[in-house]
Amino acid sequence: MIQPFHIAIPVQNLEPCRTFYRDILNCSEGRSTESWVDFNFFGHQLVLHQKEDFKPQRISNPVDGFDVPVPHFGVVLTWEDWHSLADRLKAANTKFEIEPCIRFKGKVGEQATMFFKDPENNALEFKAFQDIGQLFAK
């Protein structure tokens, strides 16, 4: 079993983000106060901290013909779970930064990927590999 990671991110307005992670991404809530909330983020611990004066800085990096937002975070899902999430996000009219697609097609590291932002413009990437052995392949 892989040990879960922990990530804490700032948000200006906690409630829209709480709704997004709980209702759109189906992450269960853990402990919380008026200024922060824990989520089970696909088996990992994500904490949203309200910071009203937070101003996210957005840059991007060209990768495989795409303008990839950085920083970003997310998880590697199973092939089936990735497609299920992509369908759920499309049904929720999610605006994608990079539409669900296959990157590095026919190359080492071929993967399904999609990028979108939460209500505070934090960029997320979810990906899947038909061959999980490609995750760290060179």
Q: Can you spell out the DSSP letters for 3-24? A: PPPEEEEEES-HHHHHHIIIII
6-50: CATH topology: 3.30.720
| CA–CA distances in Å: residue 96 to residues 8, 58, 69 | 23, 15, 11
For 24, the token pair is 């759109």
In this structure, the strands spanning 59-63 and 123-128 are unpaired
Rounded Cα–Cα distance for residues 85 and 62 (Å):
25
CATH of span 61-134: 3.10.180.10
In this chain, the answer to whether the domains covering 6-50 and 61-134 adopt an identical fold is no
In this predicted structure, what is the pLDDT of residue 137? 87
- Residue 22: alpha-carbon gap to chain centroid: 13
In this predicted structure, what is the pLDDT of residue 18? 96
Cβ neighbours of residue 14 closer than 8 Å, sequence gap 6 or more: 35, 36, 37, 48, 50
What are the boundaries of each domain within the chain? 6-50, 61-134
For 106, the token pair is 């026919």
Q: Is 123 helix (H, G, I), strand (E, B) or coil?
A: strand
The secondary structure of residue 86, as a DSSP letter, is H
For 119, the token pair is 């209500």
List the one residue out of 102, 96, 39 whose CA is nearest residue 72: 96
pLDDT per residue, tens digit, the chain (138 aa), is 789 999 999 999 999 999 999 999 999 999 999 999 999 999 999 999 999 888 877 788 888 888 898 899 999 999 999 999 999 999 999 999 999 999 998 899 999 999 999 999 899 999 999 999 888 988
Could you tell me the pTM of the whole model? 0.90
In this predicted structure, what is the pLDDT of residue 64? 80
